[in-house]
Amino acid sequence: MAKIVCVLYDDPVNGYPKSYARDDIPKITKYPDGQTTPTPQAIDFVPGHLLGSVSGELGLRKYLESNGHTLVVTSDKDGANSRLDQELPDAEIVISQPFWPAYMTAERIAKAPKLKMIVTAGIGSDHTDLQAAMDRGITVAEVTYCNSNSVAEHVVMQMLSLVRNYIPSYNWVIKGGWNIADCVERSYDIEGMHVGTVAAGRIGLRVLRLLKPFDVHLHYMDRYKLPDAVEKELNLTHHTSLESLTKACDVVTLNCPLHPETEHMINDKTLKNFKRGAYLVNTARGKLCDRDAIVRALESGQLAGYAGDVWFPQPAPQDHPWRKMPHHGMTPHISGTSLSAQARYAAGTREILECYFDKKPIRNEYLIVQGGKLAGVGAHSYSAGNATSGSEEAAKFKR
């Protein structure tokens, strides 16, 4: 029987919920491209409940233990002698999240001789050294598309919050003020602006569709050109380089995966090509951006605002400069872990486990690495190599 180690974020500070704001969530069976939502044989949780924290356990305990497996759930993943490191030597499967990533470095993989599979409960497997996984023949899988729409909604929300100067205005209310001039001195309409996405996959394309009713001019950069019918429907302008896109756009959103080719793609040099006063939204991965270059661009006015919910490392240390830089709208990594999204990524994680234990093929859409090479969606979206270097800084975070 297998030992599964599951690393999830902590419960709410006031304890696991005894009730919820809503009684249910909408039931979705298909995504916009026709892919079906996760289809496990059964689930042992209530959709809309908190599943992504330690007490939620992704709803997996009953299923795994009834089949004779051992499930260890922890949030202790960083620093010397973490619970994760203690459990690795006899772990067959490690499950983690993008929001509270267990960085599966080459060193950790070497500590786990029995490890056969690493699963992301969500989207994005950059917290795993993919090259080390390939070298060891370890399968890497994620629940592709489970929270793409959730992230896209967050992108649009943060775009509007930056352009309309929402957060400072809200804070004046909290302070008891009525400071209209202070609120609107940095507030604009997004109507008529040029908005572009770096990558137009599941998330990027959904962002473009959500933005169309705002009467903005839409742009995208992607190695794969969208079908002519989609370009015509959304009146899209395609760009073949980051420089071309950023010179044209007032608002830029990053929606590409992190791998060695995209690491620090936004830096001092590339930021010079942005329009002065542009806005940048990043819900993809923090390491797409040079951390200190973003701070400098906000302080100089080259960027009018930066928002997102991804950092590097995660959780971000208390002294991470993005916590205090000017004109930001940062949140913890929450865009893809709404209660709606959790129901899908928990079900998808169970589907992957069922396939593994029943020796059935895992969906191609869920595969990142298999058989010593990039596979499935991983072959489409990632490059070989490692993007986990520097992740040890996560141990500086203090709860």
| DSSP codes, 32-44 | TTSPBPP--S---
CATH superfamily of domain region 3-146+337-376+383-390: NAD(P)-binding Rossmann-like Domain (3.40.50.720)
Cα-Cα-Cα-Cα dihedral sign, residues 216, 310, 201, 347: negative
Cα-Cα-Cα-Cα dihedral sign, residues 336, 338, 342, 344: negative
Model-wide pTM > 0.85: yes
Do residues 302 and 252 lie in contact, with contact meaning Cβ atoms separated by under 8 Å?
no
Selected catalytic residue, list 127, 285, 291, 327: 285
Selected catalytic residue, list 69, 108, 127, 147: 147
Does 239 carry a binding-site annotation?
no
Alpha-carbon gap, residue 263 to 381, rounded angstroms? 14
Do residues 82 and 76 lie in contact, with contact meaning Cβ atoms separated by under 8 Å?
yes
Do residues 207 and 226 lie in contact, with contact meaning Cβ atoms separated by under 8 Å?
no
In b/e form, how buried is each residue of 265-297, taking b as 16+ CB within 10 angstroms? bbbeebbeebbeebbbbbbbbbbbbbbebbbeb
Does 309 carry a binding-site annotation?
yes
Does 333 carry a binding-site annotation?
yes
Token representation of residue 156: 């649009």
Alpha-carbon gap, residue 298 to 325, rounded angstroms? 7
Does 260 carry a binding-site annotation?
yes
- Amino acid in position 123: I
Does 148 carry a binding-site annotation?
yes
pLDDT of res. 80: 81
Does 367 carry a binding-site annotation?
no
Cis upstream peptide for 315 (omega within 30°): yes
pLDDT of res. 44: 98
* pLDDT, one tens digit for every residue, the chain (399 residues): 999 999 999 999 999 999 999 999 999 999 999 999 999 999 999 999 999 999 999 999 999 999 999 999 999 999 889 999 999 999 999 999 999 999 999 999 999 999 999 999 999 999 999 999 999 999 999 999 999 999 999 999 999 999 999 999 999 999 999 999 999 999 999 999 999 999 999 999 999 999 999 999 999 999 899 999 999 999 999 999 999 999 999 999 999 999 999 999 999 999 999 999 999 999 999 999 999 999 999 999 999 999 999 999 999 999 999 999 999 999 999 999 999 999 999 999 999 999 999 999 999 999 999 999 999 999 998 999 999 999 998 888 976
Greatest Cα pair distance, the chain, in angstroms, is 65
Selected catalytic residue, list 314, 342, 363, 370: 314
* 314 is annotated as an active-site residue: yes
Selected catalytic residue, list 69, 194, 328, 333: 333
Walk across the sheet containing 194-198 and list its strands: 236-239, 217-221, 194-198, 251-254, 278-282, 303-308, 328-330
Does 254 carry a binding-site annotation?
no
* 276 is annotated as an active-site residue: no
* 86 is annotated as an active-site residue: no
Does 123 carry a binding-site annotation?
yes
HSE value, Cβ hemisphere, 13 Å, CA-based, for 358: 11
Q: Which fold has domain 148-330?
A: Rossmann fold (3.40.50)
- Amino acid in position 286: G
* 333 is annotated as an active-site residue: yes
Does 43 carry a binding-site annotation?
no
pLDDT of res. 399: 64
Residues of the chain with CATH 3.40.50.720: 3-146+337-376+383-390, 148-330
